[in-house]
Amino acid sequence: MSILEGLKFYAGDTAIHKLDPRVKFLVSMLMLIIVVMYAEVWMLTVLIAVQAVIVYIAKVMRRWLKTIKGSMPLAALVFGLNAIFFISTGTYATLQEVFYHSIALAYRLVLFLSSFSIFFLTTTPEEIGLTLTSWRVPYPYTFAFISAIRFTPIIAQELRDIMDAQRARGVELDRGGLLQRAKKLIPILVPLLANALRRAYELAEAMEVKCFGAAKKRTSLRELKAGPKDYAVLLTVLVLFSLAVYYRFFPF
């Protein structure tokens, strides 16, 4: 699934990567708000252009484009459904207007994904964990989040192994009607669940041995420190954002 390509975590060495992840997160959020505020194609295009520049600096153009490409089917669906809706309810007088507004909606969907994509492409999972900690999210939640990221590829591999093992016993996973295929999920899900529980037990043991929960106040090896560059970027973005908001309500 190429949409997921653009959401996978990726580390690098560009100026964008080195920015404080909290700033990046905020930037993504602000971009999202603008997408919500504006339905005009020209503004959305400005936004995409800005994103393209950022992506270019961060050298993740190819993957970012993959997300956009991957979201095309969904965008087309949104376009189609909305066009039909507008036409059938007669919301707009001319066909031109219907097209314009349907495209704008599809465009916004794409921008939604692309805004998030930038964040994930340039931020490591570790940094995301640190962000949560710096925002005083209680440690158990951060830990759950990090564990989910840490173990997802492992569980994914396990799923493949289970499917192989069951196929080698004559279970034909790719054949059969909907009901049959649903039944065939059982020999896949039961071992997966059993393994997950077993793994959870072993992990709990290791956590115990590593004093999890011992201290009321947990310290950390690394901590996020925002530098002058980060503040500069934050300031710039806030100014631009304020302009965009102002323009929305007081167009000049």
Q: Report d(CA 130, CA 220) in Å as an integer.
A: 9
**Residue 88 or 202: which CB sits closer to other proteins?**
202
Residue 239 found at the interface with other proteins (CB under 8 A): no
Q: Report d(CA 126, CA 118) in Å as an integer.
A: 16
Q: Which of 90, 170, 177, 228 binds other proteins (CB under 8 A)?
A: 170
Q: Which of 46, 65, 109, 149 binds other proteins (CB under 8 A)?
A: 149
Segment lying near other proteins (by CB under 8 A), choices 14-22, 91-99, 158-166, 238-246: 158-166
Residue 4 found at the interface with other proteins (CB under 8 A): no
**The tokens of 240 are what?**
């631009």
Segment lying near other proteins (by CB under 8 A), choices 30-38, 92-100, 112-120, 152-160: 152-160
Residue 158 found at the interface with other proteins (CB under 8 A): yes
Shortest Å distance, C-beta 135 to other proteins? 17
Q: Report d(CA 55, CA 146) in Å as an integer.
A: 25
Q: Report d(CA 246, CA 250) in Å as an integer.
A: 6
What is the CA 150 to chain-centroid distance, rounded?
16
Q: Report d(CA 186, CA 59) in Å as an integer.
A: 43
Report DSSP state, residue 59: T
**Residue 100 or 139: which CB sits closer to other proteins?**
139
Of 27, 38, 42, 10, nearest in space to 115 by CA: 27
Would you tell me which residues interact with other proteins (CB under 8 A)?
124-126, 129, 143, 146-147, 149-150, 153-154, 158, 161-162, 164-172, 186-187, 190-191, 194-195, 198-199, 202-223
